[in-house]
Structure 1
Amino acid sequence: MERFFDIVGYISWLLASAAKLLIGAVILMVVADVVARNLGLKAMTWAISASEYSLLYITFLAMPWLVRIKGHVFVVFLRALFPPAIQQLLERLVYVVCILLCLYLGWVAWASMVTAIEKASFESRTFDMPKWAIFLPIFLGFALSALEWLRFLLTPASIYDASPLEAEGM
């Protein structure tokens, strides 16, 4: 089981790394577009759509890794009001709710992606984007996030322990 979650973690890290590269690409696109406009050159009209799609990809590709490293936002004050046994129960309940939400939203994204593939539909902006390519990162993000939450549920790891970044003093 540990090996499975290590593989999921590695895939999550790879997707987060791709998201980092996309952030760099968006920055370069924006700078290039601004420079082109200021020099009186033709604007890169495709850059706006590409940036919008990139933001979608960045969000969902990074999501599972953020769950893994506890980089998401969560509230601890309510949990602190209860004795340890209730705290542990609430923690498990949070994991189950997060898993169910991720699975449901991942299923919706999957169904939308399959429909888009069957209909061969495109979203038309400054360039055509296959709709399945819009739903793919959403599906991947939710599916892998569900597995990351499952790791918290099935292993001794806890979202309330120090994150790896905190442990390293970052």
Structure 2
Amino acid sequence: MKALFDLSGGLSAALAAIVRVLVALMIVIVISDVAMRNLGFRPLSWAISVSEYILLYSAFLPMPWLVRTKGHVFVEFLRNAMPVTARRLLERLVYLTCIVLCLYLGGIALTSGIDALRLGEYETRTFDMPKWLVFLPMVLGFFLSALEWLRYLLGIDTLYNLNPLDVEGL
């Protein structure tokens, strides 16, 4: 199991690094498009479509890395007001809910992507893009995130900071 989680962590880190490059590329594209327009040249017709796809990819590809590194926003005030046993139960409930949601949404994205691939569908904008490539970041993001939530559920890590009251009951 450790090897699977290590592989998932490495892949998640690589996907997050790819997104950093894509966002930098998007900045260059937007600056280039604006400069071309302001200098009186023909604008880059594909710039808006590429930027939209980059935004889609940047929403889903780093998702598992954010789960692993606890880089998203969550509120602990309710959890902190509970007794230790209730905290642990709530944590497990949160982890299980996140796993189920990620698997469900990842399954929908996967079946949609497979259908798009099977039917040969394309997203048609300023250029044609295979529609399955639209679903790919969703599939990767949701399924890898489910693995990261599973790490928490199995007790390999915790999403929450351990406080002294939690340690007493261990």
TM-score by length of 1: 0.93
Aligned residue number for residue 103 of structure 1: 103
Superposition pairs of residues 1-170 of structure 1, within 5 angstroms: 1-161=1-161
Measure the CA separation in 1 of the matches of 2:145 and 2:77: 24
Measure the CA separation in 2 of the matches of 1:146 and 1:16: 16
Deviation at 1:156, TM superposition (A): 3.7
Measure the CA separation in 2 of the matches of 1:146 and 1:156: 14
Deviation at 1:83, TM superposition (A): 0.2
Question: What residue identity is the alignment partner of 1:65?
Answer: W
Q: 5+ unaligned residues in a row in structure 2: which ranges?
A: 163-170
Give per-residue Cα distances to partners, 1:44-75, cap 9 Å, x unaligned: 01000000000000111110000000011111
Measure the CA separation in 2 of the matches of 1:156 and 1:123: 41
Question: What residue identity is the alignment partner of 2:155?
Answer: T
Q: How many residues align?
A: 162
TM-score by length of 2: 0.93
Measure the CA separation in 2 of the matches of 1:156 and 1:84: 18
Percent identity over paired residues = 54
Deviation at 1:6, TM superposition (A): 1.0
Q: 5+ unaligned residues in a row in structure 1: which ranges?
A: 163-170
Deviation at 1:105, TM superposition (A): 0.1
Measure the CA separation in 1 of the matches of 2:16 and 2:89: 31
| Structure 2 SS opposite 1:108 | helix
Measure the CA separation in 1 of the matches of 2:73 and 2:140: 20
Deviation at 1:109, TM superposition (A): 0.1
Alignment root-mean-square deviation, CA: 1.0
Deviation at 1:136, TM superposition (A): 0.5
Deviation at 1:31, TM superposition (A): 0.5
